[in-house]
Amino acid sequence: MRPVSLGILERAGVTRDQITAQFGPASASFEGDHVLAYRLQQGHSGYNVLRTTGWEGVNYDLILAFDESGVLSQHHMVPIHAPQPPH
Amino acid sequence: MLRNLRTRGVGALLCCCGMLQSCIILPVPRTASPTVGSRAEIPKALIEQIGPGKSKRVDVLLLLGEPDARVDADTSFIYDWRTGRGGIGWVMLWGIPAYAASSGGVIELGNWEPVLRRWLIRFDDSGVVSDVTWDGLPYRMPQSRR
């Protein structure tokens, strides 16, 4: 489990290398590394990247698409399981 | 001798009655939610945002996330999940009274296995969606039904 800040996704010109430096290795890559996927769990203080093969505990699948020069062009947090409400 | 047999027969009958009395069939509400480790359901309304002949592989990934299986160098993506059967299931509670053996349990009656649901999305050579299959059957998008 790796805590991450998603603020980087809103910055202009973010590169794939900057993403992988902060998020670590992706859980999956597609289209010759032009699309990366990270499984996120929403915690009390932010998001954590999960290293898991199944979907247990995963709240979002973060999909990042990069252009030909490796700059982030699109991203979407795909809901997987609704986060547990705080107790 | 006859009295002994009769006593044994009555004893066996009482034992059977006792067992029968401790056997109850009950309805139990079942959940239709995804099983542990499975992804959540992907509703048809979400799939219908995909346009065969228009949506690219990256569009599908941004919409649905990473697939549960990738087929033949990403020429197809499989999205699947397992859900409980929902509705009412029936269980049999059984027990042998203390004077016999003092044990019991629950037997699920009928089929309680989770249901596998599956979307299969195929792409053409240029990475554009060619067709969508739902549980093994071609799925007609609303725009193609008109």
> Which tens digits make up the pLDDT trace of B23-66?
899 998 888 777 778 888 899 999 999 989 999 999 999 999 99
- Is residue B39 within 8 angstroms of chain A, CB to CB? yes
Give the pLDDT of residue B37.
84
Q: Is the pLDDT of residue B7 over 60?
A: no
- In this complex, is the C-beta atom of A54 within 8 Å of any C-beta atom belonging to chain B? yes
Highest mean pLDDT among A46-50, B8-12, B98-102: A46-50
**The pLDDT of residue A44:** 86
Residue of B nearest to A80 (CA): B40
pLDDT-based confidence at residue A9 (cuts at 50, 70, 90): very high
* Rounded average pLDDT over B116-133: 95
Q: State the average pLDDT for chain A.
A: 92
Decide: B121 and B76 in contact? Cβ < 8 Å: yes
Q: Rounded to two decimals, what is the model's pTM? A: 0.79
Contacts of A27 in chain B (CB under 8 A): 66
Phi-psi region of A62 (alpha: psi -120 to 50; beta: other; left: phi over 0): beta
Contact (CB<8Å) B63/A61: no
Would the CB atoms of B58 and A76 count as touching at under 8 Å? no
**Pair of tokens at residue A84:** 């547990």
Q: What is d(CA B78, CA B76) in angstroms, rounded to the nearest whole number?
A: 7
| pLDDT tens-digit series, residues B54-76 | 999 999 999 999 999 999 999 99
CA of B118, closest CA in chain A: separation in Å?
Answer: 15
- Cross-chain residue pair A55–B38, CB shorter than 8 Å: yes
- Decide if pLDDT at B89 tops 90: no
Q: What is the pLDDT of residue B10?
A: 45
* Pairing mode of beta strands B76-83, B88-96: unpaired
Per DSSP, the residues of A4-71 read E-GGGGGSTT-BHHHHHHHH-S-SEEETTTTEEEEEEEEETTEEEEE--SS-TT--EEEEEEE-TTSB
Q: Is B65 on the interface with A (CB under 8 A)?
A: yes
Amino acid at B71: V
The predicted pLDDT at position B13 comes to 45
Tell the residue number behind the tokens 């996927």, with chain if given.
Answer: A37
ipTM of the complex, rounded to two decimals: 0.93
Six-digit token pair at A77?
Answer: 């947090």
pLDDT on residue B14: 46
- pLDDT reported for residue A85: 67
Mutate to test the interface with B, among A51, A58, A78 (most CBs of B within 10 A): A78
DSSP one-letter code for A85: P
Helices and strands in chain B, H and E counts: 4, 8
State the smallest CA–CA distance between residue B145 and chain A in angstroms: 27
CA B10 to chain centre: 45
Q: Is A31 on the interface with B (CB under 8 A)?
A: yes
Q: For A65-81, how does the pLDDT look when each residue is reduced to its tens digit (9 = 90+)?
A: 999 999 999 999 999 98
Provide the token pair at B59.
């569009």
